[in-house]
Amino acid sequence: MQISDLPYPDPGVPDARSGPRFLLWLGRGQLGGQLKSLAWGMLHFGGVAGLPYAVGLGVDAVVDREPNRLLLVGGLLVLIGVAISVGDAMLHRTAVTNWITAAARVQQLLARKTAELGSALTRRVAAGEVVAVSTGDVEKIGWFVEAVSRFLAAVFAVVLVCVGLVFYAPELGVVVAVGVPLIALASLPLLPRATRRADVQREKAGRATELASDTVAGLRVLRGIGGEELFLGRYREASQEVRRAAVRSARMWALISAIQVVLPGLLLITVVWYGASLALDGRIAVGELVAAFSAVATLLYPLRHFEEIAMAYSFSRPSAKRAARVLSLTRTDPAERPAQAGTVGEPAAGGDLYDPRTGLLAPAGRFTAVVCGDPDLAGRLAERLGGHAMEDRDGGEGGEGGDRGGEDGDGSGNGSDRDAEDGPSVLLGGVALDDLELDTARRLVLVQDKDPVLLSGTLRELLDVPASGAVESGAALAAAQCADVLDALLQSAPDGVEDPMDARITERGRSLSGGQRQRLALARSLVTDPEVLVLDEPTSAVDSHTEARIADGIAALRGGRTTVVLASSPLLLDRADRVVLIDGGTVAAVGTHRELLHREPLYRAVVTRETDEEQRLAGLGLTELEEALTEIEESA
């Protein structure tokens, strides 16, 4: 795989059971690149290992006054120099390729998983952690994958030097062959502690990133309540904790580095002292002493890769664990539907949408409004209707999400953590959404979140979404009452832009008001024209007059199509063909808006915001009402 070939046509199915397994899977996935890097590394390190012996032969040739042999040694040194140079250049090239391709594969896998789960991903994993995994973690994972081949080549060089010395100068070779393994293994007792400190640093850095992400996302609110300094103080404290953890981790790695310098230095002194005594006794030649000295000095270079592989693994293991946790999330628990998921055919057009858990039925082709006294329950119900069975069980903050289809966001670290109380999947035309192919479920059911996201780009690009083609963008914008939004975009556009469709929307639509963003998101959903459209509080940020016109626009544009709106606004509810009241997680009443106002006190309390005292007074007769009012006046 070359860098120019990225992205991968198919990044594959990762082994996300654990961090080490994920790293092993990545290594197997680019075995060809690893072998290339290893081959060039062996050429490079082989040249490095052979250099001391060539120098020793050259010294012996000078001492023996043999110019022909010295000439041959000179040619050998040239070949070794070429091998070192070419091997180093190609090793660097192939190693960096391995690094980038591994990081790119992980990023593709994360992007695919994010697209599969939608905003449900951030209900299991905090937004800051997702950002950390997709940026810093992929770099550390790529580092380890890249370092493996260079480490194996360094091991080859070390073995070559030791074996060569045993045959070239046996008495010194035995000393080096015994000393080098001890040097390589001397740092092992320190690695667990260094790894733990690195894990603590990584954990604190993740918390700081999450805090920074939350602070930036809520900066406008923080300014409004004067809480900027409070959160900035929290971030300063978190960053100082990261700094202290980084210093503690660096101290341990500095100790390991010192060991990798001091012990080879002691070995070098031993070899020089012992070799000099052997040379004085005439037991070895001067060239052999020079070769042994050069070999031990040369070993400092490959031995550094032992430290690097330990650091790379220590830093990449928690990163791989975090990435594996994200990649292990699945739409459904495979244990629940091992044979059916993804194998059921598409339901026939015109089927009802039914939720077995709550008993909610949205008849095909009708405008159904749903009223929930609990806003959190309304949000979870909207997710279930779109095929999302995930509950916010880990305390992770739900990130802002855009329009998304019927994919299921359930899952956890092992992909089988589905909450039993979620119950069976929502049915469309009698077919469970969880049993449909992901693309099919997305096409059939679209859920617009309460806080949808607008991506930066032109308005034309915003509305260029997969759609049936039955709804034009102009009709959708008109139904969502976006005339003033178009004027605002045109006014803020650069000179020369005459069509508001070519006006640019800033990142997340920050230049627009909340109501304007909400209406553009509604227009985007209407353009898609899915068989089932689920809207969660689509008009919560607009005024009542605009809300009434939007309600008429939705009812007219979605005529004959199944539409479910979760809202408590009387203006929306009065336009619905059917209103369903949800209480305690199940259907409590069904009827029209006016019918439920007259016969259901709970519905009236939710829609009209009646207090308990007002409900009590509404249920009294005329005489009882006069007595109650008299009591209130006397108590006042």
Give the residue-averaged pLDDT of 352-367: 93
State the Cα–Cα distance between residues 60 and 64, nearest whole angstrom. Answer: 6
* pLDDT exceeds cutoff 70 at 423: no
Q: Considering only residues 574 and 337, tell me which one the structure prediction assigns the higher pLDDT.
A: 574
Q: What are phi and psi of 473, to 5 degrees?
A: -60, -35
pLDDT category, 215, cuts 50, 70, 90?
A: low
* pLDDT exceeds cutoff 70 at 127: no
Residues 198/200/205/206 CA torsion (nearest 10 deg)? 110
Residue 115: count other Cβ atoms within 10 Å of its Cβ.
Answer: 13
Q: For a pLDDT cut of 90, what percent of the chain falls above it?
A: 20
Find, among 634, 636, 599, the residue nearest to 618 by Cα.
599
State the Cα–Cα distance between residues 295 and 472, nearest whole angstrom. Answer: 76
Neighbouring residues of 227: CB distance < 8 A, sequence distance ≥ 6: 221
What pLDDT is recorded for position 344?
A: 66
CA-CA distances (angstroms) from residue 500 to 185, 466, 497, 546, 582?
Answer: 68, 21, 7, 21, 41
**What is the CA 564 to chain-centroid distance, rounded?**
31
Q: Which of 16-20, 223-227, 257-261, 518-522 has the highest mean pLDDT?
A: 518-522
What pLDDT is recorded for position 331?
A: 62
Quick check: 446 and 527 in contact, CB under 8 A?
A: no
Quick check: 54 and 76 in contact, CB under 8 A?
A: yes
What pLDDT is recorded for position 55?
A: 83
What pLDDT is recorded for position 355?
A: 92
3-class secondary structure, 472:
coil
Q: Considering only residues 254 and 422, tell me which one the structure prediction assigns the higher pLDDT.
A: 254
Q: Which two tokens stand for residue 2?
A: 């070359």
* pLDDT exceeds cutoff 90 at 361: yes
State the Cα–Cα distance between residues 299 and 45, nearest whole angstrom. Answer: 10
Give the residue-averaged pLDDT of 144-156: 90
* pLDDT exceeds cutoff 90 at 380: no
What pLDDT is recorded for position 416?
A: 35
